Chain A
């Protein structure tokens, strides 16, 4: 069975601090995909990144970066120089790749509050 664990329920930082959101996953499959979604106070779910299990390269997009380590089954998300607009709930998710697209299994989310 698949499982995603986001141990940090809530994090509060001061603006311009760096913050890392942890994500640990469990799966028996060798081919899978990892995702991060952002849910701002307005409630929608915004796609941030998708990572293939065969691609362990870290990725950077502006102030966002992701560290994927298969050895520890982790896919952590770092926001550099946080801003108030980063305040949201962030979800890590996992899907398998079988013969077609499969549903996402979500972690419980981490609520990030960035204080000005």
Chain B
């Protein structure tokens, strides 16, 4: 089975440009999480969805960041306009809310390394 898929794997852009990161969760998973990893702050949650509905977006740093999940198999994280401090690795993860023990384990995509010049 395919794991979580993220694209692009690397993105280099200039300050002020719009950036869109994409994620395809594991088929059948109903939770999707976006995390950001930086040297200073480590791994931190940005936003998460359940059944395509945003549940908690309190981690989104500012209005420049937005996320959508139009269907169960696709989510985007958009930064507009991008700034150098947005440079980080962005991870998408998914999990399933089944009753069986352990189904809530989050599995991560390979990440998108974003560099804003």
Measuring CB to CB, which residues of chain A are less than 8 angstroms from any residue of chain B? 33, 35, 37, 43-47, 50, 52, 91, 95, 97, 100-101, 103-104, 106-109
Contact = CB atoms under 8 A, between A and B. Distances in A.
B104 A52 contact: no
Given A97-B104, A104-B45, A44 B111 contact: yes
B45 A95 contact: no
Given A43-B113, A44-B110, A101 B104 contact: yes
Interface residues of B, number: 28
Nearest to A37: B108
Contacts of A50: 102, 105
B42 A43 contact: no
A91 to B, nearest CB: 7
B104 A95 contact: yes
Contacts of B113: 43
A103 B104 contact: no
Interface stretch (B14-22, B69-77, B89-97): B89-97
9 contacts: A35-B105, A43-B89, A43-B110, A101-B96, A101-B106, A104-B43, A104-B45, A106-B42, A109-B42
Contact of A103 (B33, B89, B111): B33
A108 B39 CA distance: 9
A9 B101 CA distance: 31
Contact of B106 (A97, A104, A107, A109): A104
